[in-house]
Structure 1
């Protein structure tokens, strides 16, 4: 619930800030008459995200176990790709987002017609909506507790909507640069956990070699798949199921926070560690580069709406 709350809060706040900036700029231009078109696009984007979530949730019941695992693994990989792209996109474009959105509004108004504003509202929210849907669906599959995960996501999104409304009206001031830096780091860790679970989904039906395939090394003493260095690279890296009950509170907290599972294959561990090492280093480098740029700049760097 806490993991999905953070994701709903982070992704929801991005969307809420974008919509708030668009509405504020259109109102400042004295063109409140086009706001219904903008809200129509936002509504269509939300409908698309909910529809995709419903299809993924209920459509899976008609599939075989193997098909469910393959589709789950592929969609988890897609979620990781989208989250990775979004984290770096926000890091790179945050300080110019407001001027970019205002330019988009100017071009849409210049074109005239209803669909230009509808498309702007739709595209401004659809990206975060689809990304959030895929990521939350992947987390629900890995946690196996859909009600709690869904409740956490809804609470996070509702909190984001309220916070976005307060920020865009200047009623509260928050250091959004710091907020997105911390939540970006959390998303990197969450994405690493989803990536590890994606490999589990793809290993179970044999799409990716691992402990469930005929090539897995066998421990001659137990007749089971080897664990530890004896199981490298197609066996289990570790198995702590006797100490940490799968599905228990501790296992759920660890999986939600750092992507840890009581039993993980070598491919899962390598994927998790490799993602953290590569993506985490680039993310940290970006934060250091932005910090050094601000320190060297003779004038203040523009802030996002509501940022102190």
Structure 2
């Protein structure tokens, strides 16, 4: 339940922040009348993600035990690959998220353009969350659903606090903490996924692959901070 809650919180928070930045910028440039297109795009993105997640999880649970193990293993490897991509993206882009979004809004400041921007942003996060959820098809559906809902609710609450009370949260630190936790989840997914596909590898394969993933990812993700520490030393 914890991993489902954390992953949904992380993906939900990013989606909430993206939509919040778009809406805030529209107010700043006095085009808040276009906000309805942002809300519509986000709503449809959420709806399609929910449908995709429901259908995918239901179909996956109907697989035979051997097929379910193979499916879970493949989805775990895909999910760990996504996390590896996140590590690269978060290490280079998070600090420029607002600037990049504002540039996109300036280029697509029509109702349709903002609808598409909001829709694709939310849909991307939603489908990534669906991929993570499909790594748990052998677990209790109610437990996974509960963790996912709690995580999304927490993400909405944090997003609301950030944008409605102008609370000065250091989003870089928040995403760094979330990123580190995400790396360890990715390491676990990689190890378990490989063992499901190659049972003969056993604990040695699971542990060594997880350590390698976590070590390389942490070094890359925290390279700027590590460089500053070594420079001071």
Q: TM-score, normalised by structure 1?
A: 0.68
Structure with bigger gyration radius: 1
The structural deviation recorded for 1:27 is: 2.0
Aligned equivalents of 2:144 and 2:224: distance in 1? 31
Equivalenced residues, count: 230
Q: Relative to total residues, which structure has the larger helix share, 1 or 2?
A: 2
Structure 1: 5+ residue stretches without partners? 204-209, 212-233, 237-263, 296-308
The structural deviation recorded for 1:58 is: 0.7
| Equivalent residue number for residue 102 of structure 1 | 102
- Pick closer, same or farther for the CA change 1:71–1:189 going to 2, 3 Å: same
Alignment of 1:7-18 (within 5 A): 7-18=7-18
Structure 2: 5+ residue stretches without partners? none
Aligned equivalents of 1:39 and 1:167: distance in 2? 18
| Equivalent residue number for residue 93 of structure 2 | 93
The answer as to whether partners of 1:83 and 1:131 remain within 8 angstroms in 2 is no
CA shift digits 1:133-152 (9 cap, x unpaired):
212332x346x233233212
| Equivalent residue number for residue 65 of structure 2 | 65
| Equivalent residue number for residue 36 of structure 1 | 36
Q: Does 1:279 align with 2:204?
A: no
Q: TM-score, normalised by structure 2?
A: 0.88
Aligned equivalents of 1:50 and 1:82: distance in 2? 19
Q: In angstroms, what is the RMSD of aligned CA positions?
A: 2.2
Name the structure, 1 or 2, with higher relative contact order (CA <8 Å, separation 6+). Answer: 2
Q: What secondary structure does 1:174 align onto?
A: coil
Q: Does 1:115 align with 2:112?
A: yes
Aligned equivalents of 2:27 and 2:166: distance in 1? 18
The answer as to whether partners of 2:91 and 2:222 remain within 8 angstroms in 1 is no
Aligned equivalents of 2:224 and 2:123: distance in 1? 26
CA shift digits 1:111-148 (9 cap, x unpaired):
x4x4322210012222222212212332x346x23323
